[in-house]
Structure 1
């Protein structure tokens, strides 16, 4: 079974995540196709960096003969925040960039080749345990032309778990041949990354914003979903939750999938490479007293009254879902 991985790459701060992706894919990935662009998804010129990153660090040497880089010079329009479709504007730019890999892939690979539609910070782990590849093959053999692989998510640090499980799609070249529009391959990714059920083994690990604080802020300023302020992002790090954007009218509550927690890494929840190198991979950006910060910054959430009302609302929602 032939598997390739295509993903977007932005700036040099993504280097360690990129290396993790390559190491965890190992010999099981026939080729990694990197798609980069000289402009950010919010219209700012930045240049391209993938070749520079790969050639400047000898740790990438074992993988260079299986990496193909597609570099583009597409100037996306700055996001217009006066419109209601802010996220759509940014995501359309991402979909167009991602779809640039389609022609290369369909001209080079046979219809039965599987293509992982991922990001630079999403790693398919096929090397930590011999059972991982067997499980993936089993899932692909029992599918038609698209499988949504559950993705365990770590944000801000390599041992800081966000329990909201999402998916990374893997599809066939045959399916890509039907994705003829300038965003259609991108839609194959964005339409299939939602909530999903976990498998018996975790095969995809996401390490988003696992950078020093300045680069976390940089990524939020350049990625497709604009409108979050530095203050909101800094607050999310202080109390270890997802950014709550006033622009989008979001509010923080006790929902489990809004909060992140520091965890002990085990063979069940993390790749071997990350566990073995955690001491120097750690970003240490999450404040050690984040739990106390929550009590200080959001006292209303932790009152007996609010906890009781929240529990009642959740119970009602559960009942309604089963009617």
Structure 2
């Protein structure tokens, strides 16, 4: 399957833009042309959910993050896009672990505040190759809202293509979003422990960078990965322009787990894993779950086993 089949709207020519076309999502990934064709549609909400790493004086990542709202306001955004705060509003900021998913009621409130209803087509994007946008897509999927997609290439590709950019904020029109929690899209630590013991049948995929998976880098006191996992780093799912790889390339990356009845994805904090989940859905796997606590929770338990290739 080629990208033009996989990414909705990628065959549309630049001269074929039709204003206010009724948006129809046929893939969890949409092209910038598709978004341009549908900008202004009353039943579509575009959400910038960019999150930025906090770096030290030497430019090294600290493992902490800050909202991308400042860049959204000052450096620009897709015209009409609202800003969604994944650190505070779209996560449970009262939980012990960062980016913990909110309960269904809190998520419904946050989605409604962004102007999302059960009849809204949602396009999420970020400036980092898609993991943050994939997180919102996954949260919507978990809430039973399938009319959502990620902008392929994100804001980086949008701006590089010379498409219009607005600065300043867009105030959303608050709406009512009714969530219908979908079973099976989240798993907890006891389930993953059962997989490791062999009491549950599932393949484990870690979306963290290879150095963290191998146990040679990372900010956690305990390094490595959950035993039995395969490593498909989310950063390797996209090309230099931050477009997702072709389906045959994604199939090759996930080949060790595609025959598994169920695939559980995880990473450090459930963000990179969301991009892996998106890629698995793109290649047609229909039973994917995300371990939300991921390595932040797993490594916090001294009795939880870890494997490290560096050991």
The two structures have a TM-score, normalised by structure 1, of 0.24
State which structure, 1 or 2, has the greater radius of gyration over its C-alpha atoms. 1
Where is the helix percentage greater, Structure 1 or Structure 2? 1
TM-score by length of 2: 0.25
